[in-house]
C-alpha cells in the first residue's frame, strides 16, 4: 500500500471535507489534517488566505502543490496515488467520461442544487435567511434525483466497473448528507449506503472528519 507523508489537508466537519479524506484512507496515504471549520473564522486568517484565497475548505497541499475543491482533490489523489489494489483511475476515455457524468450529476443536482440549498436556508439560515419555500423545493428536487440513482442501483453495489470509485465517494457522501436532513432513502440506496459505510477506510475517514460524533 503506497504511502506519502507530504500531504496536508485543511478542513473537517463537512461532507465536502470528508470526500478527499475517504479517498486518502482507501489508498493508505499518510497525511496531516488541520481540522479547521468552514465558518469558525479560521479560513479568514492571513495565513490560510495565503494558501487558499477562496477561504474555503477543503484544501490540500502535496509538497509544493496546492489544490482546493473536494472533487479536484479526490481526483488528483486517485490519479497520482491510486492502484489496482485500492482506488484507480479509469482506463479508457469512455469509462472516464462515464465517471465524469456521474460525478457532475451528483455534485450538480444533489450537492449544489438541493442539499446545499437546504443547508443555506436551514443550518445557515442565520447567515443566508430563512426560506421555507426554497427548503421544500430543494428537498423535492433532491428526491427526484435520488430516485434516479435508486433505480440505477437496484442490482449494483457500485456506480461503475464493479469497484469503488470517485463517483461512489461523491454519492455516498451526499446520501449521508440526505440522511442527516431526515430523507427517507429508497431501499436500494439504503443498502448501497450501508455497504460502503462498513468499509474500513470509510470508518477511519469518518472518525477523523467528525471526531465529535464518536
pLDDT at 3: 53
**How does the average pLDDT of the chain come out, rounded?**
95
Q: What is the pLDDT averaged over residues 65-94? A: 96
7-87+202-213 CATH pick, 1.10.760.10, 3.40.630.30, 3.40.30.10, 3.20.20.70: 3.40.30.10
Kindly indicate the confidence band of residue 213, based on its pLDDT and cuts at 50, 70 and 90.
Answer: low
CB distance 109 to 117 below 8 Å: no
CB distance 123 to 191 below 8 Å: no
CB distance 192 to 157 below 8 Å: yes
Torsional sign, CA 149, 155, 158, 162 = negative
Q: Which residue in this structure is represented by grid cell 453495489?
A: 157
**Of all residues in the chain, what percent carry a pLDDT higher than 70?**
97
pLDDT at 4: 56
Tens digits of per-residue pLDDT, 190-200?
999 999 999 99
Residue 6 has pLDDT above 50, yes or no: yes
Q: What is the pLDDT averaged over residues 118-146? A: 96
CATH topology of domain 93-199: Glutathione S-transferase Yfyf (Class Pi); Chain A, domain 2 (1.20.1050)
Nearest alpha-carbon partner for 110 in 143, 132, 136:
143
In the chain, how long is the greatest CA-to-CA distance? 50
pLDDT at 1: 42
Residue 164 has pLDDT above 80, yes or no: yes
The model's pTM is 0.95
Tens digits of per-residue pLDDT, 11-64?
999 999 999 999 999 999 999 999 999 989 999 999 999 999 999 999 999 999
Nearest alpha-carbon partner for 113 in 132, 141, 133:
141
For the chain, which residues make up each domain, given as ranges? 7-87+202-213, 93-199
Tens digits of per-residue pLDDT, 24-37?
999 999 999 999 99
Residue 5 has pLDDT above 60, yes or no: yes
Residue 212 has pLDDT above 80, yes or no: no
Amino acid at each position: 500500500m503506497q504511502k506519502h507523508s507530504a500531504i496536508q489537508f485543511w478542513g473537517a466537519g463537512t461532507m465536502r471535507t470528508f470526500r478527499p479524506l475517504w479517498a486518502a484512507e482507501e489508498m493508505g496515504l499518510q497525511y496531516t489534517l488541520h481540522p479547521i471549520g468552514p465558518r469558525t473564522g479560521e479560513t479568514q486568517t492571513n495565513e490560510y488566505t495565503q494558501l487558499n484565497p477562496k477561504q474555503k475548505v477543503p484544501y490540500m497541499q502535496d509538497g509544493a502543490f496546492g489544490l482546493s475543491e473536494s472533487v479536484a482533490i479526490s481526483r488528483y489523489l486517485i490519479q497520482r496515488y491510486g492502484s489496482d489494489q485500492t482506488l484507480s483511475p479509469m482506463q479508457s476515455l469512455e469509462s472516464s467520461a462515464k465517471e465524469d457524468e456521474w460525478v457532475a450529476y451528483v455534485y450538480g443536482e444533489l450537492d449544489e442544487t438541493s442539499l446545499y440549498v437546504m443547508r443555506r436556508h436551514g443550518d445557515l439560515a442565520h447567515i443566508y435567511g430563512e426560506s421555507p419555500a426554497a427548503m421544500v423545493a430543494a428537498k423535492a428536487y433532491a428526491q427526484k434525483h435520488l430516485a434516479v440513482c435508486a433505480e440505477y442501483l437496484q442490482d449494483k453495489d457500485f456506480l461503475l466497473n464493479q469497484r469503488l470509485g470517485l463517483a461512489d465517494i461523491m454519492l455516498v457522501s451526499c446520501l449521508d448528507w440526505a440522511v442527516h436532513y431526515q430523507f427517507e432513502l429508497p431501499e436500494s440506496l439504503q443498502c448501497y449506503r450501508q455497504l460502503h459505510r462498513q468499509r474500513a477506510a470509510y470508518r477511519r475517514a469518518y472518525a477523523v472528519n467528525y471526531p465529535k460524533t464518536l
